[in-house]
Amino acid sequence: MSMQEWVALALLIAGCFFYLAGTIGLLRFGDVHSRLHALTKADNLGLMLVCAGLAVLAADWRTSALLVLIWLLGLLAATVSAHLIARHARRDGK
């Protein structure tokens, strides 16, 4: 495997690790707010690392730009979604 593939592999593995961390947080934390916290942060970081790894693998600026766009949108959507879910949970009295 070339250098490019090694770098992409490292980034992908790191990304998958963060997704695992997010899932563990979802299953193990005790409160909806802490689960929200763990999940959003870990998943977005995982998405960034996965997108970075795939961009390195693709080595094509159009694909990389699209991947960056998808990551940024994912960040935006996850932020607003987390905020709305937390507000809803607070209305519940939690």
Partner 1 sequence: MSQILGLAVLFLLLNLVAGLWRVARGPTAADRMLAALLFGSTTVAVLLIMAEWMTMPALRSVALLFVMLAGIVTIAFFGLPAGDDER
Partner 2 sequence: MLSSHLIDLVLALGMVVLALQVVSERAVLRSIILFVVFGLVMALAWTRLKAPDLALAEAAIGAGVTGALMMMAWRRLLIINPREPADTPRGRSRVAIPVALLAAALVATIGLSALFIDPPTDTAGRIALDEMVDTGLGNPVTGVLLLFRNLDTLLEMAVLLIALLGARAISKPAHPNEAAVVETGTPLVGALLAILVPLSILISTHLLLAGTNEPGGAFQAGAVLAAGGVALVLTARLQPGDRPGVIAQVAVTAGLVAFIGIGVGVMAFGETLLVLPDTWAVYVIETAMMVSIGLTLVLLFAGAPALVGRRT
Q: How far apart are CA 42 and CA 71, in angstroms?
A: 13
Least separation, in Å, of the C-beta of 81 and partner 2? 9
In whole angstroms, give the CA distance from residue 48 to residue 70.
Answer: 9
| Residue 31: count of CB within 10 angstroms of its CB | 10
Helix, strand, or coil (residue 1): coil
Give the contact letters, 43-72, x = binds to partner 1 (CB under 8 A), - = no. xx-xx--xx--x--xx----x--xx-xx--
Residue 92: helix, strand or coil by DSSP? coil
Residue of the chain from 10, 14, 26, 68 that contacts partner 1 (CB under 8 A): 26
What single-letter DSSP state applies at residue 30?
Answer: S
Q: Which residue, 28 or 83, has its beta carbon nearer to partner 2?
A: 83
Residues found near partner 1 in the complex (CB under 8 A): 1, 5, 8-9, 12, 15-16, 19-20, 22-23, 26-27, 32, 35-36, 39-40, 43-44, 46-47, 50-51, 54, 57-58, 63, 66-67, 69-70, 73-74, 76-78, 80-82, 84-89, 91-94
